[in-house]
Amino acid sequence: MTERSKLRDQLTGLAFAIPFLIGFAVFLAYPLCRAAYFSFTEYPMLKAPIWIGLSNFSRMMTDPIFWKALRNTVIFALMSVPLSLAVSVAIALLINRPIRGLAVWRTLVFLPSLVPTVASAILWLWLLNGKDGLLNVLLKNGAALFGMKFVSPEWLSSANWVLPTLAFIGLWGVGQTVIIFLAGLQDIPREMYEAAEIDGADALQRLRHVTLPMLSPVIYFNLIIGIIGSWSVFDMPFILTGGGGTGRSAYFYSMYIRDAAFTYSQVGYASALASVQFIIVAVLSCLVIWSSRRWVHYR
Amino acid sequence: MRHYFPKFVAALMVLAATLLLIFGSKPGSFVYRDGRPVPADYTIVTYWEKWSREEAAGMQRIVDRYNEGPGRTKKVFVQFVSVSQIDQKTLISTAGGNPPDIAGLWALQMGTFTAYGALTPLPELVNDGTIGPDIYKPYVWNLCAPVSAGGVPYAVANTPATVALFWNKDLFREAGLDPEKPPQSIAELDEMSEKLTVIDENGNILRTGFLPNFPGWWDYCWGNFFGNTLWDPSTDTFHIDTPANIQAFKWYQGYTRKLGTKSVQTFDSGFGQFASPQNPFMSNKVAMCLQGSWFVNYIENYTPRFADLNFTELQKRYFAGTLTREEMDLKVLESRDLFRQHYGAALPPNSFGKPGDSLIGDLDVWAIPRGAKHVAEAMDVLRFFTQQDNMEALCRSHCKPSPLINVSDEFFRMHPSPYITIFDDMIRSQQVAVMPVSPNWNKAYDEIRNGYRGMWKTPESFPVEATLKANQIVIDGYRAEYLRSVERRKAATKEGQ
């Protein structure tokens, strides 16, 4: 290959990458740098930013709403990430089997993730309604069959129930994760199962010693995506709890960033909150990457 | 052919997309309501408004009047857009340098907007007699030129809101109460509420006489009905942790405690949307509630007995030409009589005096955001909107009183609400509490709302004294933070000089 054609190839490659690079620079890198700068300023949106050093960060330390939002987000992440991973793997395993109407089952699993958030939120609002919600009616009738009295929980307005309920509702959109797991499962060589069977492994042992280790790169990918997603959760809880729930019991970190910026017009403080969120997610992702050496197995 | 065809198609698609990008979104393609295009040499005044559905339709009719009348001679076209979350969108667009020419805001937002310099001052409209203390009722003018903005006029009033006690006369009759006698004090309200409340054998609430958290729009004001002053405009301080407010919220929480937290939660989780037949007042689940004059419109729109008489429908038919003015007026009078038979509205009771000694209110306003591109034209449009006939047409369509001092007899005679004079008297009263037009209102409101929601839903976790104390500390902190910010800005300006 001549120097000239090498250069032409490089230029062609660059030309293809340019749209992405422009998008990355304009919509990601620049806003990220600006937000980092604003986090050291007081910036009420309609007036010029003033440099205030670390004041926004020190204010966070004494801001009870910051701690409340952080606490809720951590609890939600701890519940929702493992739950959605476990359920996704379980569903993927089920629809990976040669069962009747496989295409229909797979479609049904994926379908909810295509429903717009607002529409599904309204649906959940009615399903979980304390008085006439289908879930409470079913539970009540079920309890009555066994002669028990059922006290219907207020799934979304009770401070004790709201976070587990939201984590549970999050399972509604696992379709995409399931499809990724399904692809991962179908990539596992058949011979490995055959070898395990010859060695006398039962179904559970095959799952533990073949499926899960072979699926670990996909689990690893979905874990990181799940962590990022749980830290930026906003729309569904916002609609379901009317902006944060009783006593801010479902007030998440992203909601506080949005309120600080657009309701209270404190763009500087909101940027500082966003920077902290970025650092937390980056640290968690690094921890997962670091730990992956111990539990992720590549072929 | 096989090789060249895809390239040819691809080239065509690229060309089409490019042409679409360049010419497809050509600005200035505005049309009148009947589809005629607006001439290219017209100035387009963009008007964002928070109202939707029937209320937006009422405003659109006034905008059409302008576009078809003075707009034609002055070559101005008003583009009316119904916008959700208008306060945030107006702020962001103003910060971005591309705001609408007119924004329909709430007066309570004025504190934040003026503090950040987001609005254009309107002394010109005072000088030419469009707005001013001689034009508006006193409470209205105080909100247009708020003390927190140094008394500078920043807004043009459109539809005011004061709140009365509505009651269901049929339910009063059913409970053996005099349907023409509403409660005269908070104590009487509680007493009547108890008589109107129905609980089944399993302890489920079927109906309550009154529920202080319904509709929940003015819960921050309950203290006013117990003698509290929520906000002091001279110092911009909020009075949350006060004996009167504590008394008010103990009364508020008393309803949950009396009826049972779980029962109340279950009961009110069954309430439908406000603008629907499942509204608890319309579906006979709550017999009394605090509401504004517009509630008459909502009741008529969503209660079957008004199917042929509701004002929204009558107006539609009138403007469609299927109903004459005389026929519409007759129907309005008929609907007023029917409304009076079934529902009442009276001055809200309080704990310390006679009804009306404490009143709360709000106001919708028009403002011109800073950086608007057509300020002179926008002012001209606002002059037209505030003319008495237009203002009365708008307020009638919204079923609200007029903000103007001068109101025609016709307005009262043919208003869709049979109780409009009560609301008009309230706006003229000196007893309307000064609403917190504070730069810290958004933050303070979120804090207060969080407190009263907690006090209502989980009284065990939110004891009144502790909650209000915590609210006060946080809100005082917001004020201190705001003052520090003002000082910092002053210092920065000095350094810059």
Q: Measure CA B151 to chain center.
A: 22
Give the pLDDT confidence of A204-217 residue by residue, as tens digits.
999 999 999 999 99
Tell me if B361 sits within 8 A of B84, measured CB to CB.
no
Q: Look at residue B494 in the predicted model and tell me its pLDDT.
A: 83
- Quickly tell me which residue has 């009947």 as its tokens: B34
Helices and strands of chain B, counted as H and E runs: 20, 11
Please check whether residue A113 is in contact with residue A169, taking contact to mean a CB–CB distance below 8 angstroms.
no
Q: B205 forms bridges with which residues in the sheet?
A: B199
Which residues fall within 8 angstroms of residue B450, CB to CB, at 6 or more apart? Answer: A244, A247, A248
Q: Which member of A47, A248, A262 has the closest CB to residue B88?
A: A262
Q: How far is CA B46 from CA A267, B35, B49, B122, B449, in A?
A: 27, 18, 10, 18, 33
- Dig out the tokens for A127 from the structure: 């399903």
What gap in Å lies between CA B36 and CA B40, rounded to an integer? 12
- DSSP output for B330-346: HHHHHHHHHHHHHEEEE
B463 interfaces chain A, CB cutoff of 8 Å = no
Residue that is written with structure tokens 């295509």 in the block: A114
Are B265 and A50 in contact (CB < 8 Å)? no
Query: How far, in Å, CA of A192 to CA of A198, rounded?
Result: 10
Question: CB-CB: which of A42, A129, A158 is closest to B270?
Answer: A129
Pair A217, A224: CB distance under 8 Å? no
Phi-psi region of B151 (alpha: psi -120 to 50; beta: other; left: phi over 0): left
- Please enumerate residues of A whose Cβ is less than 8 A from a Cβ of B: 42, 44-47, 50, 52, 59, 64, 129-132, 151-152, 154, 157-159, 244, 246-248, 259, 262-265
Backbone angles phi, psi at B471, to 5 degrees: -55, -50
The CA-CA-CA angle for residues B339, B345, B348, to 5°, reads 170
Please name the residues in contact with B175: beta carbons below 8 A apart, sequence gap of 6 or more: B192, B195, B196, B209, B287
Question: What pLDDT shows up at residue A148?
Answer: 85
Residue identified by tokens 């492994």 is A201
Residue A185: closest CA among A111, A89, A98 = A89
Peptide bond into B215 cis (omega under 30): yes
CA distance A259 to A246: 17
Chain B residues lying within 8 Å of A158, measured CB to CB:
265, 457-458
Which of 442-461 (B) contact A at CB < 8 A?
442-443, 446, 450, 453-454, 457-458, 461
CB atoms within 10 A of CB B132: 16
Distance from CA of B451 to the nearest CA of A (A): 7
User: Looking at beta carbons, which pairs linking A143-149 to residues 24 or more positions away fall under 8 Å?
Assistant: none
Dihedral class, residue B228 (left if φ above 0, else alpha if ψ from -120 to 50, else beta): beta
Nearest to A42 among B266, B454, B488 (CB): B488
Complex confidence, ipTM: 0.81
Residue ranges of chain A with per-residue pLDDT less than 50: none
- B391 half-sphere exposure, CB direction, 13 A CA radius: 26
* Nearest in space to B488 (alpha carbons), one of A44, A92, A192: A44
Contact A247 B489 (CB under 8 A): no
Report chain A's terminal Cα–Cα distance, integer Å: 34
pTM above 0.90, yes or no: no
Pull the structure tokens for residue B72.
């034609």
Q: Exposure pattern of B21-32 as b/e (b: 16+ CB <10 Å)? A: eeeeeeeeeeee
Left (φ > 0), alpha (ψ -120 to 50) or beta: where does B85 sit? left
Q: From residue B210, how far is each of A135, B168, B177, B438 by CA, in Å?
A: 29, 11, 14, 31
Check: CB of residue B88 under 8 Å from CB of residue A263. Answer: yes
Q: Give the C-alpha separation, A169 to A120, whole Å.
A: 10
> What pLDDT score was predicted for residue B1?
44
For residue A43 the two structure tokens come to 């910036």
Q: Assign B489 to helix, strand or coil.
A: helix
Cα A55 versus chain centre, distance? 31
Q: Which tens digits make up the pLDDT trace of B78-115? A: 999 999 999 999 999 999 999 999 999 999 889 999 99
B-chain residue closest to A125, CA distance: B269
Backbone angles phi, psi at B359, to 5 degrees: -130, 150
Q: Name the packing angle between helices B441-457 and B464-496 (round to 10°).
A: 170
pLDDT at B11 (0 to 100)? 62
- Weakly modelled stretches of chain B, pLDDT under 70: 1-12, 14-15, 17-28, 497
Return the HEC string of chain A. CCHHHHHHHHHHHHHHHHHHHHHHHHHHHHHHHHHHHHCCEECCCCCCCEECCCHHHHHHHCCHHHHHHHHHHHHHHHHHHHHHHHHHHHHHHHCCCCCCCHHHHHHHHHHHHHCCHHHHHHHHHHHCCCCCCHHHHHHHHHHHHCCCCCCCCCCCCCCCCHHHHHHHHHHHHCHHHHHHHHHHHHCCCHHHHHHHHHCCCCHHHHHHHHHHHHHHHHHHHHHHHHHHHHHCCCHHHHHHCCCCCHHHCCCCHHHHHHHHHHHCCCHHHHHHHHHHHHHHHHHHHHHHHHHHHHHCCCC
What burial class does residue B3 get, using C-beta atoms within 10 Å of its C-beta: 0-12 exposed, 13-18 middle, 19+ buried?
Answer: exposed
3-class secondary structure, B272: coil
3-state secondary structure of B163: strand
What 3-state DSSP class applies to B205? strand
Q: What are B102's strand-pairing partners?
A: B47
